[in-house]
Amino acid sequence: MEEPQSSPSHADSEHYREMASKLRELARQFRFPGARQELLKLALRYEVRADQLDARSAPAVSDQERN
């Protein structure tokens, strides 16, 4: 299968960050603390996952840059 131009894990990590940011924005609109807390918890999880994906793809990217 042909490799896509941009790394899929990088695109995924960007998407996780984008969704985390939207969740935080949504959480700011909610006045009820229970719902707000749930959204913030999920946003944090997505940010952690994005960092993990970036960390995993970082060596591969630097290898490509070296070649």
Partner 1 sequence: MHGAPRPSPTRSEINGAAFAATLPTGLPQGLICVAKIGNFLELFRQVARFKINYRYRAVWAAMSDAEQPIPELYREAAEQVRQLARQARLTDIRGDLLALSAKFERLAANADAAIRLGLPGCPHGEIIPPDRGRPPPEGHE
Residues that bind partner 1 (CB under 8 A): 12, 15-16, 19, 22-23, 26, 29-32, 34-35, 38-39, 42, 46
Exposure string of 18-51, with b = 16+ CB inside 10 Å and e = fewer, is ebbeebbeebeeeeeeeebeebbebbeebbebbe
CA dist., res. 17 & res. 2, Å (int): 26
**Closest CB 12 distance from partner 1, rounded Å:** 6
Choose between 23 and 54: whose C-beta lies nearer to partner 1: 23
Choose between 8 and 61: whose C-beta lies nearer to partner 1: 8
